[in-house]
Structure 1
């Protein structure tokens, strides 16, 4: 029997943080080198930011796809790691961004993301119970 977790496409992010690497970036048309985490999948050359402080890092998306009656899958939520090179030390720390269709994004600290994941497990059990009740009706 499949679970809610089975419909999540898992990103291939490393389980332990690796040392930052230097990668090329374009900033106002000039090639520079920026520290970039292993999990970052952004093409910083293609972005060509106006200022160095605008360089941001993003990981691969983890998508939650739900089946629709027409047999198609619909994107319900997407999550990814984000980090910026600007701001205070706390503001530069990686966070987990969760995007929902037509709803404002959530930006979670790693510990908040763990709590959210735990609550998703609880939600899965309740959703499964609702499905059983609806099947009986």
Structure 2
């Protein structure tokens, strides 16, 4: 027995291609991301990821696609003391972006400065980061000046003790 299974193709709405739906933005690439509650129920999807992002979105899965965020490698500075073991102060800076944040400034690429404990974050626009960099250059210059004064003072003290 033969049945007629013809389909009216005109009744099926046409689907735009993936390229038509979301063209790849300049400065991004397609990468896999793991989404789901557990490894057993998670799925791998392809997302646009900024070229500066170093996050492994498969190795660091998130529960919901809205939880995806992008992070660059970080730069850091540590301050050690001759009276304490380990670093006393540490600051780290990197680029971040949270594509689904309610604050548009957090959706865009911005610089995040965090302290050693990772509890306090300062979110900076690129302009704010440039201003901070200028201040840190000035601070570094003043720190070098203080080091030279301390070195000279120690040499004078050593000369008196001899």
Contact 1:65/1:73 (8 A) holds in 2: no
Q: 1:79 aligns with which of 93, 96, 113?
A: 93
Structure of greater Rg:
2
Shift of 1:36: 0.3
Which position in structure 1 is the counterpart of 2:106? 91
Which position in structure 1 is the counterpart of 2:137? 121
State the aligned residue count.
119
Q: CA RMSD in A?
A: 2.2
Q: 2:32 aligns with which of 24, 39, 46?
A: 24
Deviation track 1:3-40 (CA, whole Å, cap 9, x = no partner) reads: xxxxxxxxxxxxxxx52111100111111111101111
Q: Which has the higher strand share?
A: 1
Q: Is residue 38 of structure 1 aligned with residue 51 of structure 2?
A: yes
Seen in structure 2, the aligned counterparts of structure 1 residues 63 and 91 have a Cα distance that, compared at 3 Å, is closer
Name the SS of the counterpart of 2:105 in structure 1: helix
d(CA) in 2 for partners of 1:54, 1:86: 8
> Which structure has more RCO (C-alpha within 8 Å, separation ≥ 6)?
1
- Where do 5+ consecutive residues of structure 1 fail to align? 1-17
Query: What TM-score, normalized by structure 1, do the two folds share?
Result: 0.76
d(CA) in 2 for partners of 1:128, 1:90: 36
Query: What TM-score, normalized by structure 2, do the two folds share?
Result: 0.65
